Structure 1
């Protein structure tokens, strides 16, 4: 595997500390801005090959992804229906089999999606969804053309998330919203390390970044978003029973702490839903 050394995507510095090594890849923290990322990492050509079959790895099937994300999709679709009661136009980045787009189409939205996997794009278009086999970096779409853009567990995979988020900002209409969900793995890895429990929770080399609420907020504002809100999202539902119990329990605890603290405390380690708004005057 050909590896490449990269500077911090958030601040540009090249001064890091190794947090851990997982699957023979260094996971580092930037000493300047605290962004956590894989360095060195697979080169672009190898990453493209990895993501072409990402949805099918470990024997995962289409219904597995649908069940895993169903509650997240319902939560976000409900939010968007409230923000845009007159319906709208939406782009789902990394849309996979198109499950979220199906929900939004039923709600009356004009839907589009992009995904780098030819297999999932084929499956999505069999449902008459408008899905293109490409990446956010390479897609060619008119600026200011979407009311909402979503990305569920996508940003951590991208080689250059800052450039991707800048492009997403440009594709949104003034007043548009970007809703994303990313894992926050570092606190859990830190806890497990205290008990010397080996793990590959960073999911290297598929995941290139691990965003905290602080670093994701800085990234989005640097890309031009004026208002950013990070909050606990609805838990995912893994197939494995034990993983499902852990996900539901930790997710519910996170939501309780967030509510009791008046939206000030974000439980470490659980995945977060982030909502970023584009200024109406842009």
Structure 2
């Protein structure tokens, strides 16, 4: 990892890896599917924790006493391709053992019989829509492939099914913002995601449910209820990050005190001058830190101005 994990992050990664180890064993020994969730307040670094878990999953980790899963395949699923791209960037930013080529954004044409071990595949709701070229030809009633998608020998559902059925592979589904698509839906887009997520988890039309499901969110009640009601997965202990420990680490704060002057006047120049002083202090502090560490890349603080619109 490029980052040093906070104590609460290390504990959450360790607990998550315990669950992932059990989930792999349940699937390959008993053919039982399993699920659990990681819940932490916004700003706790859930993506950083996921990156540490993926490093251990793919490469093993002595600190966590975790052996690598040589057949591990990860699907990272959300309802927003922009969110997936943001996550992919953050994973690369946090990990020094997961390469750019190990994180695959699935786009048409994508013609693979099975997913490749050691990689993270980014998928979103739109990739499974009826108009998507990635699933064209799939018969959701009978699981038949009447016509192959354009420039593809396999549909995306076909690839998922073949990966699940391979005894040398373990398919892990990570649901980003897992509370979405799990409860009652009101809009057509929410209904579409709910249907797709349920199909990925529980299976449908000849495609088996994904063996290991890991939900990540700040609020996972809907995810937990959906897993319990479906009854197809062994429910592993949830990993819950104590918000008090996150606050103690300094990553988030309960209160931010803002000072607003009572007197009338134009204070823009004052604020800019104070901001420039803060920028100078930060620049000097980072320069001194970089000089002492020697191996650390230079950090250049940035000040952003928000200018009001012209009248």
Confirm or deny a common fold (TM above 0.5). no
TM-score normalised by structure 1 residue count: 0.38
Bigger proportion of residues as strand: 1
TM-score normalised by structure 2 residue count: 0.35
Task: Give 1 or 2 for the bigger CA radius of gyration.
Answer: 2
